[in-house]
C-alpha cells in the first residue's frame, strides 16, 4: 500500500501543523546559524511576525557570504538552505578568490579560558554513540571551581550528541547527573561553539581539554581544525589534555620540530583490553594503545577502568572515563604553574 501524502494525513488528523517560535529575535542580533550541519557567525537583518514557515522566513547575513533566507526553529537556532561565498561579478578573479579566503569571524573569549572539546558525531560505523558525558561533566565543574572560564566546543558547533551508555548505571556519575539537571551547563552543551570559530592563538586560552566517547573516533581522527588548535596551544607552552578516546586526535598532531606530538613522551589512553571489553574494537579506526606506541609514545596503562593519568610537560593524558577527574586536576596544576612562571619571569 502506497504511503499517504502529507496533505491527506493532515486532513485525517494524523499530522499536526508545525508552529515556529520567533520569540527573542531582533534585527541586528548576532547569532550562530547552521548550514548543512556547520555553524557560522551571522546577524539577523529581518524578522517576520508570522508563524507560517512558508511565509515567515527570518533573514540573516553571514559576514563574508551572500545573504540567505533562514527559518527560526524552536527559538534556538537558524537553519540555512544554502551558503555561498560573496563574489560580486565586477570583481577580478584574483580579488574574488581573496575574498573567499577571508578568515571567518572568531568568537571573543574571556580571560583565563579553558576550551573543552567534544565530538559532534552521533554514529561510528552505524553504532550509536557520541560524547561520554562523565569526561566532559567532571572537567566542566572542576575547571569552574578552580576559577577558569569554560567554553564547550565541538567540530560542528551546536548540540552535542551524548552516548546513552554514559547515562546508565555506575557510568552515570554524580557529576554527569548534576550536569543534566544544570540548565546553564546543558545549555552550553546544546550550543557548543564551532571549533573554527575560536582563535586558539589568543592568550586568553590557557588550556585545551579533549573529551572522549566513541564519537571522537569519527570526527577527531582527520580534523585539520583540531590538529591546528592542539599544535597551536601546545606550541605556546599551554596545557593540552586528552582523555580516553579523545586521544585519537593526537595521532595527527606534530611538535614544532615536525615529529609526532607524542614521540618520546609518557602517555596513556584507552587500552586495547578496555576496547575489547566494550566490544567495539572492530568499529574504531585503530587501537589507541597501538597507535601511540607506533608514533614513538612511551605508552603506560593502569588496570582496566582505573584512574590513570600521565603528565609529560604540557601534554596530559588520561586512560579512560575514570581518569577524567585526575586528568583535570593535573591540567589545573600545570596551568597554574605555567602562569606563575610567566608572571615571575615578566
**Would you list the DSSP string of 157-179?**
-BPPPB-GGGGSGGGS-HHHHHH
Check whether 9 has a pLDDT greater than 90.
no
Most confident listed range (45-59, 238-252, 332-346): 238-252
Cell of 179: 550536569
Check whether 212 has a pLDDT greater than 70.
yes
DSSP string, 58-78: EEEE-TTB--EEEEEETTTEE
**Of 51-60, 201-210, 302-311, where does mean pLDDT reach its minimum?**
51-60
Measured at the CA of 238, the angle between CA 201 and CA 153, to 5 degrees, comes to 60
Q: Which residue has the higher pLDDT, 46 or 159?
A: 159
pLDDT value of residue 83: 44
pLDDT value of residue 101: 56
Measured at the CA of 157, the angle between CA 87 and CA 211, to 5 degrees, comes to 140
Mean pLDDT of all residues in 81-108: 57
Q: Which of left, alpha, beta for 330 (phi over 0: left; psi -120 to 50: alpha)?
A: alpha
pLDDT value of residue 16: 44
Check whether 25 has a pLDDT greater than 70.
no
Cell of 261: 606530538
Dist CA 340 CA 68 (whole Å): 48
**List of residues 6+ apart from 230 with CB closer than 8 A:** 208, 210, 240, 249, 250, 253, 261
Check whether 79 has a pLDDT greater than 70.
no
Q: pLDDT by residue (tens digit) across 30-52?
A: 666 655 555 566 666 666 665 55
Cell of 17: 501543523
Calculate what percentage of the chain has a pLDDT beyond 90: 65
pLDDT category of residue 147 using cuts at 50, 70 and 90: very high
Check whether 89 has a pLDDT greater than 70.
no
Most confident listed range (30-34, 89-93, 136-140, 339-343): 136-140
Between strands 123-124 and 127-128, the pairing is antiparallel
Mean pLDDT of all residues in 267-278: 98
pLDDT value of residue 1: 35
Check whether 27 has a pLDDT greater than 80.
no
From the CA atom positions of the chain, what is the Rg in Å? 22
pLDDT category of residue 345 using cuts at 50, 70 and 90: confident
Residues facing residue 209 across a β-bridge: 116, 241
Q: Which residue has the higher pLDDT, 343 or 327?
A: 327
Cell of 39: 555553524
Check whether 93 has a pLDDT greater than 80.
no
Cell of 273: 583490553
Check whether 229 has a pLDDT greater than 80.
yes
The pTM score is: 0.73
Mean pLDDT of all residues in 247-252: 97
> Cβ(26)–Cβ(58) under 8 Å?
no
Average pLDDT, the chain: 83
Dist CA 42 CA 159 (whole Å): 17
Residues facing residue 192 across a β-bridge: 158
List, in sequence order, the alpha helices (H) in the chain: 6-11, 93-100, 134-145, 174-180, 183-190, 216-219, 224-235, 272-277, 288-294, 324-345
Check whether 64 has a pLDDT greater than 80.
no
Check whether 56 has a pLDDT greater than 60.
no
Q: pLDDT by residue (tens digit) across 293-330?
A: 999 999 999 999 999 999 999 999 999 999 999 999 99
Residue linked to cell 571551581: 145
Residues facing residue 128 across a β-bridge: 123
Dist CA 53 CA 34 (whole Å): 17
pLDDT value of residue 38: 58
Residues facing residue 162 across a β-bridge: 131
Neighbours of 107 (CB within 10 A): 15
pLDDT value of residue 107: 85
pLDDT value of residue 139: 98
Q: Which residue has the higher pLDDT, 5 or 202?
A: 202
Amino acid at each position: 500500500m502506497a504511503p499517504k501524502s502529507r496533505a491527506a494525513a493532515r486532513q485525517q488528523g494524523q499530522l499536526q501543523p508545525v508552529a515556529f517560535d520567533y520569540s527573542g529575535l531582533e534585527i541586528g542580533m548576532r547569532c550562530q546559524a547552521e548550514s548543512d550541519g556547520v555553524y557560522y557567525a551571522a546577524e539577523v537583518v529581518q524578522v517576520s511576525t508570522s508563524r507560517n514557515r512558508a511565509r515567515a522566513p527570518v533573514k540573516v547575513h553571514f559576514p563574508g557570504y551572500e545573504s540567505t533566507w533562514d527559518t527560526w526553529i524552536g527559538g534556538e537556532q537558524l537553519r540555512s538552505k544554502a551558503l555561498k561565498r560573496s563574489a560580486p561579478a565586477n570583481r577580478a578573479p584574483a580579488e574574488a578568490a581573496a575574498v573567499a579566503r577571508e578568515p571567518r569571524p572568531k568568537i571573543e573569549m574571556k580571560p583565563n579560558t579553558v576550551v573543552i572539546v567534544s565530538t559532534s558525531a552521533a554514529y561510528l560505523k552505524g553504532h550509536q554513540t557520541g560524547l561520554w558525558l562523565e569526561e566532559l561533566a567532571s572537567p566542566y565543574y572542576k575547571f569552574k571551581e578552580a576559577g577558569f572560564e569554560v567554553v564547550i566546543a565541538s567540530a560542528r558547533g551546536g548540540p552535542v550528541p551524548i552516548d546513552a551508555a554514559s547515562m546508565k548505571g555506575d557510568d552515570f556519575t554524580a557529576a554527569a547527573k548534576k550536569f543534566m539537571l544544570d540548565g546553564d551547563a546543558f545549555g552550553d552543551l546544546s550550543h557548543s561553539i564551532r571549533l573554527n570559530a575560536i582563535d586558539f592563538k589568543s592568550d586568553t586560552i590557557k588550556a585545551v581539554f579533549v573529551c572522549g566517547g566513541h564519537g571522537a573516533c569519527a570526527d577527531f581522527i582527520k580534523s585539520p581544525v583540531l590538529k591546528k588548535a592542539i599544535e597551536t596551544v601546545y606550541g605556546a607552552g599551554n596545557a593540552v589534555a586528552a582523555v580516553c578516546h579523545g586521544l585519537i586526535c593526537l595521532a595527527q598532531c606534530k611538535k614544532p620540530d615536525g615529529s609526532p606530538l607524542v614521540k618520546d613522551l609518557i602517555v596513556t589512553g584507552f587500552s586495547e583490553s578496555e576496547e575489547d571489553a566494550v566490544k567495539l574494537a572492530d568499529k574504531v579506526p585503530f587501537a589507541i594503545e597501538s597507535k601511540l606506541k607506533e608514533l614513538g609514545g612511551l605508552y603506560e596503562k593502569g588496570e582496566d577502568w582505573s584512574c590513570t593519568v600521565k603528565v609529560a610537560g604540557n601534554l596530559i593524558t588520561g586512560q579512560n572515563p575514570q581518569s577524567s577527574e585526575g586528568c583535570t586536576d593535573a591540567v589545573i596544576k600545570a596551568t597554574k604553574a605555567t602562569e606563575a612562571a610567566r608572571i615571575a619571569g615578566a
